[in-house]
Chain A
Amino acid sequence: MRPADLTRTVAQRAIADGLVLLALAVWWWSSRHLPASVIPSPQAVLARLVAIATEPALGWHALVTTLRVMASVLLSLVLGLALALAAHARPWLDGIITDRILVVLSGMPSVGWAILAVIWFKVSEFTVIFVQVMILLPFALINFTEGLRNLDQEVIEMADSFSTRRTATLVHVIIPMLLPYGIAALRVSYGVCWKIALVSELFGAQSGLGYLMLQAQSVGDVVTVVATCLIIVLLFTLGEALIINPIARTLRKDIAQAEAG
């Protein structure tokens, strides 16, 4: 990079952060001129954020939501892969899975799942996980189906000719070839899951950030509503930087090495 480019990049970064500070300043200024029940002050929201991060009673909700997100993403990936493989292996299942199950899953509104799940399963841990997995399933299914469609048939034929066991072909050839699509599915599911985590906890849970937020909203506690939203933004960003990106990088390195070796 030339020095001039470097200077420009640094300057643009500084402008980006400057604008964030400006937005915070505008928020702070307007919170002073409007009632706290409309725009809470940034200081109050920050204090609540710190409280959620440090006080066990509040931090518990954030932890529960995070664990649910992780569990649902994993489950939906496994289920999505299983469904996609089933449709791929048995042609008569393909119509049922892509033209029926996928159509209903991808048209289903998330709040519809949330309400139905409470009617069916009452308030429980299973209800929340069920809602999240159902919402994420179409994303995983679409990505894995796409991957299976683009499989290199010649490689599979070659593998089949070397080994008679189909499970061996599946584990050593098909699954590795699906990895890039798996990474895409993981990324999309992770992003969507944080967005819908709150919805899934609104009706069906007695814990978690969604529960916390609805409680706060019903008593007009705007500070907590805003703080919960920001916690979601923070947790999403942190998880992406610390978990999702490293996983994607490691897997991609594996693929590159496998192709080179």
Chain B
Amino acid sequence: MSIVQAAPAQTVLRLRRENLWKKIATHGFTLGVLALWEITSWRIPAYLLPGPLDVAQSLAWLLGTPAGLVQVGASLLHVGLSMLLAFVAGAAVALTPYYVGWLRPAIDSRLTPFLNSFPGIGWTLLAIIWLGLGLSTVIFAVTVILLPFMIINIREGVRTVDQDLIEMTQSFGSNRRRDFFFIVLPTLFPFMFAAVRVSFGVSWKVALTAELFGGSRGLGYTMNIARQELETSQIYAVIALIVVIVFLSNRLLFDPLQRRLQVSSRKPA
């Protein structure tokens, strides 16, 4: 910011002009893609590429009719419940080595890498075998897929807990309970936020997969029905809705919060 203020008027003008061009190019690109999509859709059968207006209509069905909203709400329920369960379980697993030191290698180099490399679709198919089609299968699959994301992020925070500070409070007669609430938990907050942020984006995407194979409701289920009936515009609408949800939640919720917390999120690789 200070560079712009200190720069001579000419540079400011040049930067402004560059910014204007960037805006024109970006919005022009959006319009261009929409126009190209519309024109291409005239020549190609609708089951391959439905036009933008068809997709908008399907989107309106999803968001504007009770039948559509039931599916959106079901996905919301799946995402919310799974995130809650994965958060609690992930925090518990991440904190275990802190309190039970001898379990550290078991959790850090056995359990977490295993969970982290186990394919999500595998959990989904196994859940179908174990629990049948329905709510519990989707919740189980999404929760287990989210677990490594939660563990890895929160574990990062557990490692930064200030041991000197703990020693000091203990020498002043504090106990583990008080230390947990006044030192450990506050240290973990930014990392828990990062965990929730990463998991939120992932959860919508994996819920879609889980619902597609093992659900009896939700956006993924809607997409599967649309796939079988060749209603391609409905598939596009579901995908568009998820892209918009992930984008808006980042822009309106997580980015502003993150700026306050200033901690970079970490993804398991």
Contact = CB atoms under 8 A, between A and B. Distances in A.
A103 B243 contact: yes
For B26, B201, B238, which residue has the most chain A Cβ atoms within 10 angstroms? B26
Nearest to B105: A16
Contacts of A100: 26, 29-30
B117 A109 contact: no
Interface residues of B, number: 57
Interface stretch (B65-73, B153-161, B182-190, B204-212): B204-212
Contacts of B113: 237
B177 to A, nearest CB: 26
Contact of B208 (A12, A17, A111, A198): A111
Contacts of A103: 243, 247
Residue among B114, B128, B244 facing the most chain A CB atoms (10 A cut-off): B114
Given A202-B121, A229-B119, A115 B269 contact: no
Given A19-B110, A232-B118, A237-B117, A109 B239 contact: yes
Contact of B106 (A19, A37, A190): A19
Interface in A186-224: 187-188, 190-192, 194-199, 202, 210, 213-214, 217, 220, 222
B129 A222 contact: yes
B103 interface: yes
A233 B114 CA distance: 7
B120 to A, nearest CB: 6
A119 B47 contact: yes
A11 B269 CA distance: 28
Interface stretch (A89-97, A166-174, A253-261): A89-97
5 contacts: A103-B243, A111-B220, A194-B117, A220-B129, A229-B122
A154 interface: no
B166 interface: no
A92, A94, A107, A110, most chain B CB atoms within 10 A: A107
B16 interface: no
Given A15-B106, A91-B22, A195-B120, 14 more contacts: A12-B102, A16-B110, A37-B129, A96-B26, A99-B26, A106-B246, A112-B208, A115-B227, A199-B121, A213-B121, A220-B129, A222-B126, A233-B114, A233-B117
A233 B118 contact: yes
Contact of A213 (B114, B122, B205, B247): B122
Contact of B22 (A17, A38, A94, A233): A94
B268 interface: yes
Interface string B92-120: 00000000011111100110011011111
A86 interface: no
Given A110-B205, A191-B269, A16 B106 contact: yes
Nearest to B32: A96
Contacts of A94: 22
Contacts of B129: 37-38, 217, 220, 222, 225
A210 B242 contact: no
A133 interface: no
A47 interface: no
B26 A225 contact: no
Nearest to B232: A119
**5 shortest interchain CB distances as A-B pairs:** A95-B26, A107-B243, A229-B122, A191-B269, A107-B246
Given A195-B119, A198-B122, A222-B129, A15 B103 contact: yes
Contacts of A13: 105
Contacts of B18: 91-92
Nearest to B125: A217
B21 A91 contact: yes
B72 to A, nearest CB: 14
Interface in A143-167: none
Nearest to B120: A195
A199 B22 contact: no
A16 B47 contact: no
B130 interface: yes
A140 interface: no
Contacts of A19: 106, 110
Nearest to B129: A222
B198 to A, nearest CB: 12
